[in-house]
Structure 1
Amino acid sequence: MRHQIASVDADHTSYLYEWKLNGRWNKLGATVNSDFVPMKPGSAEEFILEHYWAITGEAMLTRWNTRWSMCHGV
Protein backbone atom coordinates (compact mmCIF):
# COMPACT_ATOMS: atom_id res chain seq x y z
CA MET A 1 0.00 0.00 0.00
CA ARG A 2 0.95 3.60 -0.46
CA HIS A 3 -0.68 6.99 -0.11
CA GLN A 4 -0.22 10.61 -1.07
CA ILE A 5 -1.69 13.75 0.48
CA ALA A 6 -1.13 17.04 -1.35
CA SER A 7 -2.38 20.60 -1.02
CA VAL A 8 -4.07 21.61 -4.28
CA ASP A 9 -4.66 25.23 -3.28
CA ALA A 10 -5.62 27.23 -0.19
CA ASP A 11 -9.06 25.57 -0.02
CA HIS A 12 -8.49 22.03 -1.36
CA THR A 13 -6.48 18.94 -0.39
CA SER A 14 -6.02 15.86 -2.56
CA TYR A 15 -5.87 12.35 -1.05
CA LEU A 16 -4.74 9.29 -3.00
CA TYR A 17 -4.62 5.73 -1.62
CA GLU A 18 -3.18 2.86 -3.66
CA TRP A 19 -2.90 -0.88 -3.07
CA LYS A 20 -1.55 -3.74 -5.15
CA LEU A 21 -3.80 -6.74 -5.81
CA ASN A 22 -2.85 -9.62 -8.09
CA GLY A 23 0.10 -7.63 -9.43
CA ARG A 24 -1.99 -4.58 -10.42
CA TRP A 25 -2.18 -1.21 -8.68
CA ASN A 26 -5.65 -0.04 -7.65
CA LYS A 27 -6.40 3.43 -6.34
CA LEU A 28 -9.00 5.57 -4.65
CA GLY A 29 -8.68 9.33 -4.51
CA ALA A 30 -10.56 12.42 -3.44
CA THR A 31 -10.11 16.16 -3.63
CA VAL A 32 -11.66 17.74 -0.55
CA ASN A 33 -12.88 21.31 -0.16
CA SER A 34 -12.40 22.55 3.40
CA ASP A 35 -15.56 24.70 3.18
CA PHE A 36 -18.20 23.02 5.36
CA VAL A 37 -21.91 23.23 4.53
CA PRO A 38 -24.92 22.19 6.62
CA MET A 39 -26.03 18.60 6.10
CA LYS A 40 -29.68 18.35 5.09
CA PRO A 41 -31.87 15.98 7.12
CA GLY A 42 -32.84 12.97 5.02
CA SER A 43 -30.02 13.55 2.50
CA ALA A 44 -27.77 10.87 1.04
CA GLU A 45 -24.88 12.28 3.06
CA GLU A 46 -26.77 11.90 6.32
CA PHE A 47 -27.83 8.36 5.42
CA ILE A 48 -24.28 7.27 4.57
CA LEU A 49 -22.75 8.79 7.70
CA GLU A 50 -25.47 7.41 9.94
CA HIS A 51 -25.54 3.88 8.51
CA TYR A 52 -22.00 3.23 7.32
CA TRP A 53 -19.71 5.36 9.46
CA ALA A 54 -21.75 5.47 12.69
CA ILE A 55 -20.67 9.06 13.33
CA THR A 56 -22.78 10.97 15.83
CA GLY A 57 -22.99 14.48 17.22
CA GLU A 58 -21.50 17.53 15.54
CA ALA A 59 -19.82 15.50 12.78
CA MET A 60 -23.24 14.70 11.31
CA LEU A 61 -24.18 18.36 11.02
CA THR A 62 -21.59 19.16 8.36
CA ARG A 63 -20.03 17.47 5.39
CA TRP A 64 -17.08 18.03 3.08
CA ASN A 65 -17.69 19.01 -0.52
CA THR A 66 -15.88 16.11 -2.15
CA ARG A 67 -15.11 15.11 -5.69
CA TRP A 68 -14.38 11.37 -5.73
CA SER A 69 -12.41 9.48 -8.32
CA MET A 70 -11.88 5.75 -8.38
CA CYS A 71 -9.89 3.64 -10.74
CA HIS A 72 -9.59 -0.14 -10.59
CA GLY A 73 -6.67 -2.13 -11.99
CA VAL A 74 -4.44 0.67 -13.27
Structure 2
Amino acid sequence: MHCARIRTALSARLDGEELPPGLTGRRLEEHLSGCADCREWQARARALAAGIGRAAAPGEGDTASVDALLARLRPGSAPG
Protein backbone atom coordinates (compact mmCIF):
# COMPACT_ATOMS: atom_id res chain seq x y z
CA MET A 1 0.00 0.00 0.00
CA HIS A 2 1.28 3.44 -0.87
CA CYS A 3 2.36 5.69 2.00
CA ALA A 4 0.42 8.66 0.57
CA ARG A 5 -2.83 6.75 1.03
CA ILE A 6 -1.84 5.74 4.55
CA ARG A 7 -1.01 9.32 5.46
CA THR A 8 -4.35 10.50 4.12
CA ALA A 9 -6.00 7.90 6.36
CA LEU A 10 -3.88 8.95 9.35
CA SER A 11 -4.89 12.56 8.80
CA ALA A 12 -8.54 11.58 8.59
CA ARG A 13 -8.29 9.55 11.79
CA LEU A 14 -6.53 12.40 13.58
CA ASP A 15 -9.37 14.72 12.54
CA GLY A 16 -12.01 12.27 13.74
CA GLU A 17 -13.10 11.43 10.20
CA GLU A 18 -13.78 8.03 8.70
CA LEU A 19 -11.00 6.15 6.97
CA PRO A 20 -10.99 6.22 3.16
CA PRO A 21 -13.06 3.49 1.45
CA GLY A 22 -11.30 0.14 1.31
CA LEU A 23 -8.91 0.88 4.15
CA THR A 24 -9.55 -0.67 7.54
CA GLY A 25 -8.01 0.23 10.86
CA ARG A 26 -6.30 -3.15 10.86
CA ARG A 27 -4.65 -2.54 7.48
CA LEU A 28 -3.59 0.89 8.63
CA GLU A 29 -1.95 -0.53 11.76
CA GLU A 30 -0.29 -3.31 9.76
CA HIS A 31 1.29 -0.73 7.47
CA LEU A 32 2.43 1.37 10.42
CA SER A 33 4.05 -1.63 12.07
CA GLY A 34 6.31 -2.06 9.05
CA CYS A 35 6.85 1.53 7.90
CA ALA A 36 9.07 3.77 10.01
CA ASP A 37 8.47 6.74 7.69
CA CYS A 38 4.71 6.62 8.25
CA ARG A 39 5.15 6.17 12.00
CA GLU A 40 7.34 9.30 12.01
CA TRP A 41 4.77 11.16 9.90
CA GLN A 42 2.04 10.16 12.35
CA ALA A 43 4.10 11.31 15.34
CA ARG A 44 4.76 14.69 13.71
CA ALA A 45 1.09 15.09 12.76
CA ARG A 46 -0.01 14.32 16.32
CA ALA A 47 2.54 16.77 17.74
CA LEU A 48 1.38 19.43 15.31
CA ALA A 49 -2.27 18.89 16.20
CA ALA A 50 -1.44 19.07 19.90
CA GLY A 51 0.57 22.25 19.39
CA ILE A 52 -2.24 23.86 17.45
CA GLY A 53 -4.69 22.86 20.16
CA ARG A 54 -2.52 24.43 22.85
CA ALA A 55 -1.94 27.61 20.84
CA ALA A 56 -5.66 27.96 20.13
CA ALA A 57 -6.82 27.27 23.70
CA PRO A 58 -8.49 30.36 25.18
CA GLY A 59 -6.20 32.07 27.65
CA GLU A 60 -3.41 29.54 27.22
CA GLY A 61 -1.87 30.52 23.88
CA ASP A 62 0.95 32.94 24.52
CA THR A 63 3.18 34.60 21.96
CA ALA A 64 6.16 32.35 22.73
CA SER A 65 4.22 29.11 22.22
CA VAL A 66 2.70 30.37 18.97
CA ASP A 67 6.14 31.48 17.72
CA ALA A 68 7.62 28.08 18.64
CA LEU A 69 4.83 26.28 16.79
CA LEU A 70 5.29 28.42 13.69
CA ALA A 71 9.04 27.79 13.76
CA ARG A 72 8.40 24.04 13.75
CA LEU A 73 6.17 24.39 10.70
CA ARG A 74 8.83 26.10 8.61
CA PRO A 75 10.44 23.89 5.95
CA GLY A 76 13.66 22.28 7.09
CA SER A 77 12.88 22.59 10.78
CA ALA A 78 13.87 19.70 13.01
CA PRO A 79 11.12 17.63 14.64
CA GLY A 80 10.32 18.85 18.13
TM-score, normalising length: structure 2: 0.28
Name the structure with the higher helix share.
Answer: 2
Answer 1 or 2: higher relative contact order, Cα 8 Å, separation at least 6.
1
Name the structure with the higher strand share.
Answer: 1
TM-score, normalising length: structure 1: 0.29
